[in-house]
Amino acid sequence: MAVEGGGTLSEIYQNAKKVLLIARDGVERLERLESSTSNGRLDSPELSFKVKKDISQIQSLCAEMDRLWRSIAAKPQRDLWKRKVELVAEEAESLKQSLDRYFSRNQRRMREAQERAELLGRANGESAHILRIFDEEAQAMQSVQNSKRMLQESLSTGTAILSKYSEQRERLKNAQRKALDVLNTVGLSNSVLRLIERRNRVDRWIKYMGMLITLAVLYFLVTWNR
């Protein structure tokens, strides 16, 4: 668009003004895009790159015009062109500063978005860790409930066994009394009676051993479930 390194001062000036209008419009478009975008991110990197390139071109044209106006012989005309070139250079510098501030805001927003993503990732990780803890505690509570139920069943079984032993003991006593009555009636000898009594003692020891074994099994079950 511009004639760099060639052309008259007037031609270069006109080209610089055209590029200046294009660059100003580009900066305004970027700012409107920034304010209208919900997340404030740069959605048109091509536009920002073109604006930056246009501003660089204007500065290059200003450097060329600065060289040319100095060679003008007439002082009034030279002062006029000096002021024109300075105005173009000042506006180009203003656009450059606006673009730099835009880039700075965009970089800050991108950095904040990245930090939020990292914080969210860590928060999700901590939530998963807490859920795992709750799940482990729930499993432990379920295990305790199962152990408690097994213990209650074991105690119920032991109580039923002891009750059966008690019933059998009463039946054995009744049978013993009946047998003694019968033996006394028929007049059996004392040796037979002693034999019967010895057998009764053996049965009694068997009964006691069975009760002890049952109690030991119950104690083992209670200790194991703890």
What pLDDT, in 10s, does the model give residues 85-105? 999 999 999 999 999 998 888
Q: Does domain 1-133 have CATH number 2.10.110?
A: no
Q: In degrees, to the nearest 5, what angle opens at C-alpha 99 toward C-alphas 97 and 102?
A: 110
Locate tokens 């080209």: which residue?
Answer: 15
Categorize the per-residue pLDDT at 64 as very low, low, confident or very high, splitting at 50, 70 and 90.
very high
pTM score of the predicted model: 0.46
Mean pLDDT: which of 16-25, 167-176, 188-197 is highest?
Answer: 16-25
Mean pLDDT calculated for residue range 72-84: 92
Q: What is the pLDDT of residue 6?
A: 52
Termini Cα distance of the chain? 90
> In the chain, where are the structural domains located?
1-133, 145-186, 189-225
Buried b (16+ CB within 10 A) or exposed e, 155-170: eeebeebeeeeeeeee
Q: Name the least confident of 23-32, 36-45, 206-215.
A: 36-45
Contact yes or no for 57/2 (Cβ under 8 A): yes
Q: Is pLDDT at 131 greater than 70 in this prediction?
A: no
| Chain segment 180-222, per-residue pLDDT in tens | 676 566 555 566 667 777 887 888 888 888 888 888 888 888 7
User: What does the alpha-carbon distance between residue 25 and residue 10 come to, in Å, rounded to a whole number?
Assistant: 23
More confident residue, 137 or 55: 55
The enclosing H or E element of 109 equals helix 75-186
Q: What is the pLDDT of residue 166?
A: 65
